[in-house]
Structure 1
Amino acid sequence: MPSDPTTRGPRRVRGTVAYGYEAVREEFAAYAAGERDDYDAQLVAYLDGRQVVDLWTGPDFTGDSLVGVYSSTKGAAHLTVALLVQDGTLDLDERVSHYWPEFGAEGKQDVTLRDLLAHRAGVVGADAGFSLRELADDRAIAERLAAQCPYWRPGAAFGYHALVIGALTGEVVRRVTGQSLQAVYESRIRAPYGIDFYLGLPEEHESRVLDIQPMLPTPEQQGEMDASASGPHTLVGIAYNRNHPQPTDMLTLPNSRAVRAGGPASFGGVASARGLARLYAVAISGVGGEAPLLKPNTVAEFTQIHSAGYDLVSREYKAYGLGFSASADRYPLLSRSAFGHSGAGGSQAFADPHSGLAYGYSRRRYAFPGGAAPENDRFVRAVHRAAVGS
């Protein structure tokens, strides 16, 4: 891969791209040149299991830097669930209460694992909210939510289980395997494939972590945020833990060592863009001559849209497969089977089985308005164009 870095004034983009992907480097450099001086970001892509883009920029970032990736964590968590379904360890159409009897309280007895993964269970939070210590511990979240009355009749609608879905599915994993979801992910996915994406960051990697920086909205953007603010006891307030006496500040979550160490499976992952992209390359293509982690029928099952329409929490149109977002809903140039997950701070990661493309992007400063940073639109287009053209 050619290694000639692109410079735009004081901004340097470092890293490499394969032949045919030079336009991706140019697009990344052009965007970086127009950003703040402290713009730290990484962009990585694979095609058919071969790394074709590995770029980074910023005064503090390297290709090895790690940041909290918020809900991009859900991709790693639910790839683990998909693997257990593929093995026959879990059954998507079995009731959650079969695996976890306590979950059947308060009218949740018929919720299936499929319902849960599709954000249809209605248990988006707890009436009294969670402390930061509880949020860092998936088992504490699960214990509280087992007794929680759902906020809508399960199956009647769907809404994003932002901070709790990984704890709920993780408790199912623990009841069946005797191990935490994080331990299964480590032993079966992360460690064997050398993926730089951690659910529970070992202390020895802390020196590689950079704290997420706060969003810096313009006055107009701040006005939009103020106008859309919701009360603590609305569905969005409950889902984002604003109903606790000490409401959750999204910025503080990945900057907490307790969260990074616990690796809560909804939002506590720590990764580089290399790790984000490699995870999805391993899933659909394999790397280094290995077979893909997921079989085609497993990919088809988990990427089939299960919930689409008005999301009761986000209050906008959303489309979900099983645990994953339908990536083509955000990037229409991708195939209908593309799947992945973005993170509140701006990260994005997905796989497109049709083209063989796996994509990972991370940035340090929290992006407006939250979720996949807008610049991903440009980068995905450039990477896809290069991949299809090659």
Structure 2
Amino acid sequence: MSQEITVHGTVAAGFEEVREEFTALVAGERPDYEGQLCAYVHGRRVVDLWAGPGGADCLYGVSTTTQGAAHLVVALLVQDGTLELDRKVTYYWPEFAAEGKGALTLRELLAHRAGVIGTDGGFTLAELADDRGIAERLADQRPFWRPGTAFGSHTLVIGALAGEIVRRATGHTVQQLHEDRVRAPYGLDFFLGLPAALEPRFRAAQPMAPTPVQRAQVDAERTGPHALPSIALNRHAAEPTDLAALPNERPIRARGPASVGGTASARGLAGLYAAAISEVAEQVPLLKPDTVAEFGQFHSVGHDLVTRGHGSYGLGFQATADLWHPFLGAGAFGHSGANGCQGFADPRSGLAYGYTRRRYAFPGGAAPENDRLARAVHRAAPAT
């Protein structure tokens, strides 16, 4: 007989429904469920819940949700005037012009329109942990579609591409700037490079075994090892990447590659987006309204050549209301992760949301329960 999992934590007055939804989720999940939920409204933490043996302070690999932290750094540099969205990438990074990529702008790159979703031969694990190494190889790579004409998720490399521009413009890495300007000032549990001293707080990801029907569906959708989805996910490499297990590799956690290497709690996810749009701990929002509007505005919407489904991007961030949660306000921005986690900001309601879970949500992306949890938080938000 399995032991019942207890829900821990608190919600503010008016958010009791959120606790009820989280409790119902935990009760209906596998007996080994482990996850966290946190939300802010106008800079005030209103939801802080967790369940399972990990506790409130444990850290999970958040996979592509990492890109939200990386692109917050880019947004800050654009806001500062250090980066200009409509300059060509080659203004900052001349070598990127190889193989017909010279006309691409920073704006187009951030909107996943560069076409360099990977390399012909793929990456090793050591290479995936090294953003500068990824960037060097992508500079020489022939794009898989004419840059600027279409878009597709640059799943494993977008952080390295943007990060190389950041490094050349500032002399600092995305990881350094995230630490100095975002994580440390707000005390956030969202690391792009997990210190060895914090390793005991890390909880290894657990892949979810798909049902036979789910597996058959995925197999039917695959067209071969050199199709765009395989290249973007590095499945064509000599050592194919298992996206679900990638956070369990210490080199990935230690170096924090800006596409997939972040380690965070739900508090860290929600806190990042709260700091982006709201006054938190008597500090002004990191982003000004004009920057929020620019980065949340639709830039690439329609057929994603990599996922082969509907895609929706602002600048670096996913357009969360269109892609995941249609009840959110226009301009909501964030990023999901392959293990089912989700983080976003909804500037119109002042909502900042973070959800993490230990077990991978097959086949990847924001786990389905995010819709009911985020919807419950959003319903309660106007009462604050």
TM-score (norm 2): 0.98
The answer (yes or no) to whether the contact 2:207–2:245 under 8 Å persists in 1 is no
Aligned-residue identity in percent: 65
Letter in 2 for 1:342: S
Q: 1:384 to 1:211 in 2, by over 3 A?
A: same
Which of 158, 162, 165 matches 2:158?
A: 165
Match of 2:26 among 32, 38, 62: 32
In structure 1, which of residues 48, 59, 62 is the aligned counterpart of residue 42 of structure 2?
Answer: 48
Q: Residue 9 of structure 1: CA displacement?
A: 7.5
> In structure 1, what is the Cα distance between the partners aligned to 2:12 and 2:74?
33
- 1:378 match: secondary structure: helix
Q: Distance in 2 between matches of 1:106 and 1:271?
A: 37
Question: Which amino acid in 1 is paired with 2:150?
Answer: A
Whether the 8 Å CA contact 1:124–1:164 is kept in 2: the answer is yes
User: Separation in 1 of the partners of 2:86 and 2:213?
Assistant: 46
Unmatched 5+ stretches in structure 2: none
How far apart, in 1, do the equivalents of 2:354 and 2:147 lie? 33
Is the aligned partner of 1:332 residue 2:332? no
| Correspondence list, 1:69-84, <5 A | 69-84=62-77
In 1, the alpha carbon distance for the partners of 2:218 and 2:49 equals 32
Deviations 1:45-82, CA, capped at 9 Å, x for gaps: 00000000000001x22110101000100000000000
* Distance of 1:351 and 1:322 partners within structure 2: 14
Amino acid at match of 1:18: A
Quote how far apart the aligned CAs of 1:251 are: 2.2
Contact 2:295 2:316 in 1 (8 A): yes
Distance 1:239 1:228 in 2: 15
Q: Is 1:265 matched up with 2:297?
A: no
Query: Which one of 110, 115, 125 corresponds to residue 103 of structure 2?
Result: 110
CA-CA distance at 1:243 after TM superposition: 1.5
Deviations 1:206-262 (A, max 9, x none): 000010001122222222222223421111111011121111111221000000001
2:282 aligns with 289
Provide the residue aligned with 1:365 in structure 2.
359
For the residue of structure 2 that corresponds to 1:133, the secondary structure is helix
Corresponding letter in the other structure for 1:120: R
Q: 1:313 to 1:355 in 2, by over 3 A?
A: same
1:290 deviates by: 1.1
- Aligned counterparts of 1:230 and 1:375: Cα–Cα separation in 2: 30
Contact 1:9 1:33 in 2 (8 A): no
Distance 1:175 1:56 in 2: 40
The alignment's C-alpha RMSD in Å is 1.1
Q: Which residue of 2 aligns with 1:386?
A: 380
- The equivalences for 1:146-157 within 5 A come to 146-157=139-150
Q: Distance in 1 between matches of 2:5 and 2:143?
A: 50
- 1:334 and 1:314 mapped to 2: Cα distance? 23
Q: Which moved more, 1:246-255 or 1:339-348?
A: 246-255
Q: Any unmatched runs of 5+ in structure 1?
A: 1-7
* Whole-angstrom CA distance in 1 between matches of 2:34 and 2:341: 12
In the other structure, the counterpart of 2:370 is 376
